[in-house]
Structure 1
Amino acid sequence: MMSSLDRDYELDDDPARLDRDAVWAFLSEHVYWGRWRSRADLERQIDSAWRVVGAYERASGRQVGFARAISDGVSLAYLADVYVLPEHRGRGLGVALVHAMIEEGEGARFRWALHTNDAHSLYERFGFAKPDDTYLERPLRRG
């Protein structure tokens, strides 16, 4: 899948195209949710992902956004590590990344889950809501 946003950006779900150094740099230095991970942890997460989608600046080919999902490939998926570089925000790239991941392809029929502290309005556009009384979760244990 190679999706065109506008003349300045494109999305691609080819894992070989990812700039893993750029993903590591952003996730290890600029986000609240993943600083506890090592580079090896992130590499394993990318390698075992059901799908990854990158956002790329068309002129330079530079990766400016990312999203990752894990899934059983049948009915359930978890959306993770969605980001857009600050200087490229406000152009719809976050919406496009989420749309490509959960609305295009096999994932459109899945039940999706995610965790976020600060992007509720983005995900609510795609039907994400607080879980009902049937949902239970065991929190992450560190250390």
Structure 2
Amino acid sequence: MPSDEYSFSDDPARIDRHAISAFLMAHAYWATWRTHEDISAAIDGSWRVIGCYDRGGELVGFARAISDGVNFGYLADVFVLPAHRGNGLGVQLVTEMIENGPGRTFRWMLHTADAHDLYRKFGFGEPNSSLLERASTRG
């Protein structure tokens, strides 16, 4: 990926909430039930956000994290717009969030139904017997 093609930023003021909402509500199996207000509130409640931008400054990828800021992080809402996939942007988004950010020593968690190979590159694996989860009660 040529460095001049895309840039990454953790500036929350720079992200395009409408572009994020449009993608998540229409294309993300994990978020199609959410409203723009839900997504905006989730962004506001996030510990850190990473935006990926094309040369023109348009948001083409996104990731956010929830954290206590000390030892735990939950990676959420990672996506790259279809027209920009195949350029390593998903890997770079996760790298920026996990490896290059203030949470590089955290215990990280996430849920995914289809991107296991991507996350295994960062050490994610099946949970051990110490992890318990309460599933959502939302339909």
TM-score by length of 1: 0.94
Q: Residues of 2 paired with 1:36 and 1:85: CA distance?
A: 19
Corresponding residue of 2:100: 104
Instruction: Tell whether 2:84 aligns with 1:88.
Output: yes
Alignment: residue pair count: 139
Determine if contact 1:95/1:122 at 8 Å carries over to the other structure.
yes
Corresponding residue of 2:24: 27
Determine if contact 1:5/1:11 at 8 Å carries over to the other structure.
no
Determine if contact 1:102/1:108 at 8 Å carries over to the other structure.
yes
Determine if contact 1:5/1:96 at 8 Å carries over to the other structure.
no
Q: Residues of 1 paired with 2:62 and 2:2: CA distance?
A: 14
Q: Residues of 2 paired with 1:5 and 1:16: CA distance?
A: 25
Corresponding residue of 1:45: 42
- Secondary structure at the aligned position of 1:17 is classed as coil
Determine if contact 1:68/1:81 at 8 Å carries over to the other structure.
yes
Instruction: Tell whether 2:1 aligns with 1:7.
Output: no
Alignment identity in percent? 58
Deviation at 1:19, TM superposition (A): 0.7
* 2:110 aligned to which of 102, 111, 114: 114
- Secondary structure at the aligned position of 2:13 is classed as helix
User: CA 1:5/1:54 → structure 2, altered by over 3 Å: closer, same or farther?
Assistant: farther
Q: Residues of 2 paired with 1:55 and 1:37: CA distance?
A: 22
Q: Residues of 2 paired with 1:9 and 1:39: CA distance?
A: 26
User: CA 1:5/1:45 → structure 2, altered by over 3 Å: closer, same or farther?
Assistant: farther
Q: Residues of 1 paired with 2:135 and 2:2: CA distance?
A: 36
- Secondary structure at the aligned position of 1:46 is classed as helix
* 1:79 aligned to which of 75, 80, 87: 75
Which ranges in structure 1 are unaligned for 5 or more consecutive residues? none
User: CA 1:139/1:9 → structure 2, altered by over 3 Å: closer, same or farther?
Assistant: same
TM-score by length of 2: 0.97
- Secondary structure at the aligned position of 1:78 is classed as strand
Q: Residues of 1 paired with 2:47 and 2:122: CA distance?
A: 19
Deviation at 1:102, TM superposition (A): 0.6
